[in-house]
A and B are shown apart, each in its own frame.
Chain A
Amino acid sequence: MIEKKLLQEHNLKEDEYERIKEILGREPNLVELGLFSVMWSEHCSYKSSRVHLKKLPTEGKYLIQGPGENAGIVEAGGKAIVFKVESHNHPSFIEPYQGAATGVGGILRDIFTMGARPVAVLDSLHFGPLDRPGNRTIMEGVVSGIAGYGNSVGVPTVGGEIDFEEEFSHNPLVNVMCVGIAEKDRIFYARAGEPGLFLIYAGAPTGRDGIHGATMASAEFGEETEQKKVNVQVGDPFREKLLIEATLEVMERNLIVGIQDMGAAGLTSSSSEMASKSGVGVELYLDNVPLREEGMNPYELLLSESQERMLMVAKSGKEEEIRRIFRKWGVNATVVGKTTDDNKFRAVWKGEIAADVPLDSLAENAPKYSRPYSAPKHDERFDKKWLRKKNWGNVLRKILASEHFASREWVYQQYDHMVQTNTVLLPGLGPSVLRIKGQREGIALTIDSNPSWGRSNPKQGAVLTVAESFRNLATVGAEPLGITNCLNFGNPEKPEIMGQFAETIDGMREALEFFQVPVTGGNVSFYNETEGGTVPPTVAIGTVGLVEDVSNLPRPERVKEGDGIYLLGWTGRDLGSSVYLRIAFGERGGKIPEIDLQREKKLHREIIRLVREKRVSYTFDLSPGGLLPNFAEALFKIGKGATLKINPEIEEVFYLFGESPSRMIVISSHEIEASVPVRKIGEIGGERLSVHLRGEEIINESVHELERGWRSFFPEIFNP
């Protein structure tokens, strides 16, 4: 008899249990209860989010594969660009190094599972403020975990973002995006083909690690959960590298029908999802599963989340050839099951049936919830005292040397960002740009989020985040082809959290429909709550864009003495949630910027045109931080000074530090004309930054001195 406590341990609600009994026509045994528990977990089934996710646009002219597979695919330069983002938030809190490392490993597998060679990793990371040692430890562990895994496996970590908010102290966010390139006619899917084919398990042997990782990621954290270290998987990048090479070779020789990595819920989800998509059943021979530990039972074998494991369905008669290729790479490959014609998920162990359930009940027919939600309250505050004049030079120095704005070089130097020799635009210079060897075209990649926008207004925040992502791409003349997204929220069983989620989806839909860019997939991470503290709604948008000609990119080293500095776009009265308010007033809320999507799109079009017409030396956008900090940062990269002369028609603080979305700086040796407002605001020259406001000099600083504060913030914290 299944008791309440057992259900609780499996994170199953009583009505869900009733439904299981109905499906089986009997009580489940313990193994079966485990299967339902993981497959019906939020993490695997998206039971709270599905109803909402359906609203997002999923069609576009460059789209090859939308949501529902291991990763999405768009076309660029005649190739299939395969990409996806996934969270590894909970494991990274419990064990930062391994949590982040296995986050990288997992998303890499989602990409090469589709026949693509992984070519880039990007991360969106959020931690608590660094004035607390605990947060430093988490950040240091996460960064080394990403480096340790990515560097070894030979996939460059080319970009990303890091920011800090109080709420992330106990709920750090680690969202990892991977991009791969495949031939368009050689894409692999999670399919099982027909009955009578063999399932081959390749990779690391199975241990007890990560059992119920998926259910862990579907519950709030309390003190008890922090004790769950044993649940975090341990990564082995060396084995992953071998698995990549062997898998790609098997694919190249066309030996398999379908393939799926053993991620969350391991052998159970990989086998049942493949079978379910092809309408066949599956029978697993658990005695054949390679073991790392002795005495493992069926429950553990089926639910282990040991890393670096793949499950594939062999083409009939190709089993031996597959095993030979894996052996060459030192990887074990074993037959662990076969497809059947009875639509059942059956596991056999020591001659007995350990589990026998209808297959679709696991993979397809998980419960769906339209959870109740309440509209979140928006932060509409605006305080006149924010307009007070300040010593602008002091403010600038403080922002440059703050954790929100300081150079991230300390982080990205620890990542091999050049291996594979495709990185055309290095980290820190804009979005990442990769060439596609042998093509004129390249891809531009970016991942962006802004939790303080989400906290103030989830819907508007989502619109702004999408716009910012596409604006980043415009700086290298790239058009967006498709996005992936990682949605990080608190407990969806709370109506206010569900309200944030519903609004966020509305905002994404509005922006994506407007720009006509599809969602190709993504990941929802709920339950980012610890002891009542919850994360602000944080939407990481990962975008792939098309660069027409990688040899023509705006770069700081193109800027010459005497080049003109032009401000394009519109400056509004936007200060809410800005870096400025944090630094100058310790205020992290306020009404977030308005955005006019027509204007925004027009600006992107004009910037892309100017870049492609080779009229731009360098260009960048101005949020977060606003005009002055972003302009100073550009000067550091250019290695020169400049004089700015500005005559704003509104209070200067909006102009200097406001974070209005639809504005960008273009530096050029040509006269710039465009169908959006253009204003020449200065010239490049000398070694100082001099800023004149309505004829009066308000800032005169050595660029080198400003740069020192910006560059030394992270090294001083981590290399004392």
Chain B
Amino acid sequence: MGSRKVKFGIVVYPGTNCDMDTHYVIKEVAGEEAQYLWHEDLDLKGSQVVVLPGGFSYGDYLRSGAIARFSPIMKKIKKFAEKGGLIIGICNGFQILLESGLLPGAMLRNRGLRFICSFEELLVENDETPFTLLYTKGERLRMPIAHIDGNYFAEIDVLSELERERRIVFRYINNPNGSAHDLAGIISKKGNVFGLMPHPERASEALLGSADGLRVFLSAAKYVRES
């Protein structure tokens, strides 16, 4: 049983543009099973991990991620989350998780007001989540960011709760966007929903400059296989 492949469902909204990149990494690099879920689907098709990939869902009109939360598939994703299913939201996917209330807080425009695409250094803060169990606390990672709305904001009590409950998973070493508490990725209270602005799928092959992100997918697969 231990070697069975874990099925990842990758949600495609109109305007999503990292769906194929994520699919490629999960299937070809991590060696797990990957399938696309269309935003109008009413079924997660047996996915064991749901990934909301990056992009510009619905053109990011109104506000990044703001329209995607009304999509038909979102109801199923919420139910999946309630039952403890693993969800990873990357970049625009993180913004959608915030907009839909699966994670607390909001994204503001980057400090500096410009889109930033660059490799950033991250610090692993919590290595006991289902998404980071193959990392070591204190480890430094290199992963790219690519966003204009990645400046995380939340009320002070939310931030202290995140700190207290060790829900900040990755932190920027040189905060590029003004994000509160330098945070780059957080998990939900139950620990099964993970949102992060950096793109682990763009840092999963040494050929592209870093393979530090691959373990996010490998950790989730390991967690599912062993639970």
Residues of chain A whose beta carbon lies under 8 Å from any beta carbon of chain B: 144, 147, 151-154, 236-239, 241-242, 329-330, 412-421, 423-424, 426, 435, 437, 550-551, 719
Please determine whether B117 and A417 come into contact, CB atoms closer than 8 angstroms.
yes
For the complex, is B21 an interface residue (Cβ under 8 Å from A)? Answer: yes
**Contact between chains at A238 and B18 (CB < 8 Å):** no
Note all chain A residues with C-beta closer than 8 A to B115.
Answer: 147, 151, 413-416
User: Can you sample 15 A-B contacts with CB below 8 Å?
Assistant: A152-B17, A153-B17, A154-B55, A236-B59, A238-B14, A239-B59, A413-B114, A413-B117, A414-B117, A418-B117, A419-B18, A420-B20, A421-B25, A421-B201, A426-B209
B24 at the interface (CB under 8 A from A): yes
Residues in B with CB closer than 8 Å to A551 are 207
Closest to B61 in A: A238
Question: What chain A residues lie within 8 Å of B112 (beta carbons)?
Answer: 719
Contact yes or no, A151 B146, CB < 8 A: yes
Minimum C-beta distance from B143 to chain A (A): 11
Question: Is B156 an interface position by the 8 A CB rule?
Answer: no
A-B pair count, CB < 8 Å, reads 83
B202 within 8 A of A: yes
Binding site for A on B (CB under 8 A): 14-15, 17-18, 20-21, 24-25, 54-56, 58-61, 112, 114-118, 144, 146, 148, 199, 201-202, 205, 207-209
Secondary structure of the A contact surface, majority rule: loop
Q: Are B56 and A152 in contact (CB under 8 A)?
A: yes
With A and B bound together, what is the CA distance between A419 and B21 in angstroms? 8
Complex-state Cα separation, A417 to B148, whole angstroms: 14
Q: Are B17 and A330 in contact (CB under 8 A)?
A: no
B208 touches A423 (CB 8 A): yes
| Distance, CA A241 to CA B14, complexed state (A) | 8
Q: If the complex has contacts A147-B115, A329-B14, are A420 and B59 also in contact, measured as CB distance less than 8 A?
A: no
In the assembly, what is the distance between CA of A144 and CA of B209, in Å?
26
Q: Is the CB of B144 within 8 A of A238?
A: no
* CB closest residue in chain B, given A424: B207
Given A237-B56, A435-B207, A719-B112, CB of A420 within 8 Å of CB of B21: yes
Once bound together, how far apart are the Cα atoms of A420 and B15, in whole Å?
14
Please name all residues of chain A whose beta carbon is closer than 8 Å to the beta carbon of B118 when the two chains form the complex.
Answer: 413
Residues of chain A within 8 A (CB-CB) of B207 are: 424, 435, 550-551
Contacts of B199 in A (CB 8 A): 418
CA distance A147 to B115 in the complex (A): 8
Q: Which residue of B lies closest to A153 (CB)?
A: B17
- Is B14's CB under 8 angstroms from A419's CB? no
Bound state CA distance, A147 and B21, in angstroms?
20
Report how far A412 CA is from B59 CA in the complex, Å.
Answer: 22
A719 to B110, CA, bound (A): 13
In the complex, the answer to whether B116 meets A414 with C-beta atoms within 8 Å is yes
Closest 8 interchain pairs by CB? A154-B17, A238-B59, A152-B56, A421-B21, A416-B146, A414-B115, A416-B117, A418-B202
Contact: A152 with B117, CB < 8 Å? no
Partner of B58, one of A238, A420, A426, A435: A238
Q: Which of B21, B116, B205, B208 makes the CB contact (< 8 A) with A413?
A: B116
Q: Which of A416, A417, A424 has the most CB of B within 10 A?
A: A416
Per the bound structure, the CA–CA distance linking A424 and B117 in Å amounts to: 15
